[in-house]
Structure 1
Amino acid sequence: MKVTAAESFVLEVPVGGAIADSMQSVERLEFVGLRVDTDAGVAGCGYTVTVGAGGKVLQAVLDSLYIDELIGEDPRNVRQIWSKLYHGKAHWIGRAGATTMAQAAVDIALWDILAKAAGEPLWRLLGGAHAGKMPIYNTHAGWLNYSVEQLRREAGMLIDQGYRTLKMKVGLDDLSEDLRRVAAVRSEIGDGIDLMVDANQKWDLRKAQEAARRLADFDVKWIEEPLHPDDVRAHAKLREQSTSPIALGEHVYSTHMFRDFIERNGVDVVQVDVCRIGGVTPWLQVASLAESFGLPVCPHAGDLMQVHQHLVKAIPNNWLLEVIPLWEAGPFEHQIQLKDGYCLSPEVPGASTDFTKEAFARFRVS
């Protein structure tokens, strides 16, 4: 099997209503990716996601650094191709950020081809360590632009839908206001529902230490991204003092950086994101590393769950799958299926990454 052609694309998809965390307010997402064709008649689709800016930069990386290098390659040699691209033209200007996110789109497309050629969903091709329903947690009810009343209402609705684990955003300038909002949600959901909080890198070490101490009153199951994502030392120091577990990985772009966080005891819950780490190939490496240290993997939903619904089922150290259901019917041909607080197992061959023709016609901008 040989790659015969590849074409990049950018889709701009509205999320249906503004959502906000401590970093930004988001009204649309950019899906940046490529379709890869082979001489066997099997085509793969891969993508990465930005929050409404930078998509053309990622497309330029695909067009100028990666696509020509794919032509003539056998997609079955996916790990060799990953290494070739990583150590090739992009190595001197990247190794993280835009180049890694663009490489993720390539790698996902190749794994999509392999699963389709095998006639299996990706999770089964990768070994199927977890064949049953996957427990999920919902972030969509906890945005910072929601009022306290809306937080209560949304949390109650999710519990009625079968969710037993929720996450909400923190990171306001006034920590007391964060705590008031957390208290309101905890009061609404009771003690039987797990609750996590996500600061999106807002705090310095001093404020994170104070927040961790005061959040202990609400039995949060983890504090996510409390600090700058490159500061291994500060995370390790915070973890020494916090009674709540520390979760991170959304903005960690290399296996080496995950190694440092894990070895220096800076993380309890590994949230490796397939779109940020460079694709399925390094994602599996990070998951294996976490397993060797006895740490669970709960991936960040940077792919809008389409690929991660496969990956969490392929590893033994999964815990929860994050979901952010932004649409009634999303842009994918085979949208993730959620029911009663679980993700149902996808059975269609591939990585669930193909977009509908309607989505391309309506949202493609490049």
Structure 2
Amino acid sequence: MPVDVPGVRGVLSPDLSDLMQGDEGAVIASVETYALAVPLTRPIADSTAAVDHWTVPVVEVRTRDGRVGTGISGVHTASELLCTVIDDYYAPSLLGASSEDILGTWNRLYWLPTHWIGRAGAVHMALAMVDIALWDLAAQRAGVPLWRLLGGTPEPVEAYNTDGGWLNFSQDELIRDLSSLLDRGWRRVKIKVGKPDWREDARRVRAVRAALGDDITLMCDANQRWDLSTANRIMPVLEETQMDWVEEPLHADDLDGHVTLQGSTSLDIAAGESIYNYQQFSGFIHHGAIRVVQADATRVGGVTEWLQVAAQASARGLRVAPHAGDMTQLHQHLVGTGLSPMAPLIEFIPWTQDAYVERSVVREGYLERPQAPGASTAIAPDARRNWQIRGVGAVRRT
């Protein structure tokens, strides 16, 4: 007799229904959410925000065999919104379902009524957290790190450092911090731009290039603070200082502006941390609006959608260099897992290293592949004891 499956169009035979259920031990028994406020060693600022901590929303998906898959995100604020979406809307659809049905779960959650209030932002980021947890479980069940499950190679991945170039630093502090990164083996660094007067950005960029020398790869990030007119004014300076890329120069939804700007400069335009789905990325890629695709698995719908975006970008010969809203923990598994003419590159920011059981390892500017089974997202017990935010999150069980 045919079986109706909620969220799946059509009718499935009993045999297919059994296949979707999968291993009895992989059935989801509980879903727990919480959030950590991880303190920074110093306050930092870009052109949009100033923070003294980084907030890590967490979901732990526990299966009947006792395994726990951990999904994470990274936000400036409002972690309770992501947790509430999971607690009140996603958990009822997860409990009793198979954690092995990753794509089916993605589609089922995406098309819940929450779709109509959040194809981007908090609702979609909550979906990403669940998806990451399921991939973490899949790698654990396979007994391999996620990068190996996805077909990646064990070679170290070149990284660039963002943590020395903040906008709240004076020019002298900026140069001193970046120079200290070079002393520790970094050869690629990124600085923030987006001052109220673009001329101040120009002075800072020129001073940094003069101090660091021509053999250091330098990127800059405006965090969407320029309009097209301002971007056009400063672009000759950025070309003069040989920026590797110019990140988020314009509003993230301004496709036409990105197309115009990318067509007017020899520099690569980068974007992606504020683009939330593969359909929107398709538009930017198809129209030649960017040359560096910075898809973030915590902003798009997790590993599942990130892989879709990365495949599109690689097929067009574009660079894939993910934004690290997760502070590198997950993305160290994702980069370099698909065919691409470009060498993999990953952003490194060390803020939340102490929050995880398995820390990222970087030597001389190269990130070493993790070796433990899973996605490196498991939270350290001390981190939860010390930094969990009161009143955020819940536990849902069958």
Q: Same fold (TM over 0.5)?
A: yes
Q: Look up the SS of the partner of 1:92 in the other structure.
A: helix
Letter matched to residue 278 of structure 1:
G
Which residue of 2 is the match for residue 169 of structure 1? 192
Q: How does 1:1-366 map to 2 (within 5 A)?
A: 1-51=26-76, 53-128=77-152, 130-317=153-340, 318-326=343-351, 329-365=353-389, 366=392
What is the count of residue pairs matched by the alignment?
363
Query: Is contact 2:336-2:344 (8 Å) kept?
Result: no
Query: Is contact 1:212-1:243 (8 Å) kept?
Result: no
Query: Is contact 2:271-2:293 (8 Å) kept?
Result: yes
Letter matched to residue 75 of structure 1:
S
Q: Look up the SS of the partner of 1:90 in the other structure.
A: helix
* Structure 1 unaligned regions, length at least 5: none
Question: What fraction of aligned residue pairs are identical, expressed as a percent?
Answer: 42
C-alpha distance in 2 between matches for 1:346 and 1:120: 10
How far did 1:319 drift? 3.0
Q: Look up the SS of the partner of 1:330 in the other structure.
A: helix
Query: Is contact 2:324-2:349 (8 Å) kept?
Result: yes
How far did 1:43 drift? 1.1
Large movers: runs of 4+ above 4 Å:
none
Query: Is contact 2:354-2:380 (8 Å) kept?
Result: no
How far did 1:316 drift? 3.4
* Structure 2 unaligned regions, length at least 5: 1-25, 393-398
Query: Is contact 1:253-1:277 (8 Å) kept?
Result: yes
Q: Which structure has the greater CA radius of gyration?
A: 2
Query: Is contact 2:54-2:351 (8 Å) kept?
Result: no
C-alpha distance in 1 between matches for 2:111 and 2:351: 36
How far did 1:192 drift? 0.5
Letter matched to residue 363 of structure 2:
K
Letter matched to residue 338 of structure 1:
V
C-alpha distance in 2 between matches for 1:295 and 1:31: 30
Query: Is contact 1:299-1:321 (8 Å) kept?
Result: yes
C-alpha distance in 1 between matches for 2:264 and 2:43: 35
Query: Is contact 1:269-1:295 (8 Å) kept?
Result: yes
Letter matched to residue 237 of structure 2:
R
TM-score norm. by structure 2 comes to 0.89
Q: Look up the SS of the partner of 2:324 in the other structure.
A: coil
Query: Is contact 1:209-1:242 (8 Å) kept?
Result: no
User: Deviation digits for residues 92-117 of structure 1, max 9, x if unmatched?
Assistant: 11111010111111000000000011
Letter matched to residue 236 of structure 1:
V
